[in-house]
Amino acid sequence: MLKEKLDELAQLMADHMARPFPPGYRGLDVEGRDMVLLDADAYGYAAGVREGRLSEQHRAGLMRLTSAFAKILPAIDDDYAAGYYTHVRDMAVLAAEIESLREK
């Protein structure tokens, strides 16, 4: 099951890299979060999960990041950007799920 989840994460990451960054969101803050950093953080955590277990500090950061999407996504009023950041959220949530599976 873990291998399948890691394969799914790899596919989400590849899909993410193929999508253009939303126009107008570079340098924009939504709900106090810089949208470029949000994107980069999610990808960075996902990449870390693919390489192995995260440190306790990084796991906590990933959990904070995934919970931030509950505020951020409803505040995005552009359809493309909403879809883009929903994909980013899905990537972060799957990374967190993989971390949870490794803890068991």
What pLDDT is attached to residue 84? 98
- Residue 66: which domain range? 2-103
What does DSSP assign to residue 29?
Answer: E
CA angle 37, 39, 44 (to 5 degrees): 90
What pLDDT is attached to residue 103? 79
Output the tens digit of pLDDT for each of the chain's 104 residues. Answer: 899 999 999 999 999 999 999 999 999 999 999 999 999 999 999 999 999 999 999 999 999 999 999 999 999 999 999 999 999 999 999 999 999 998 76
Structural domains in the chain (count):
1
What pLDDT is attached to residue 56? 95
**Both tokens of residue 96?**
């967190």
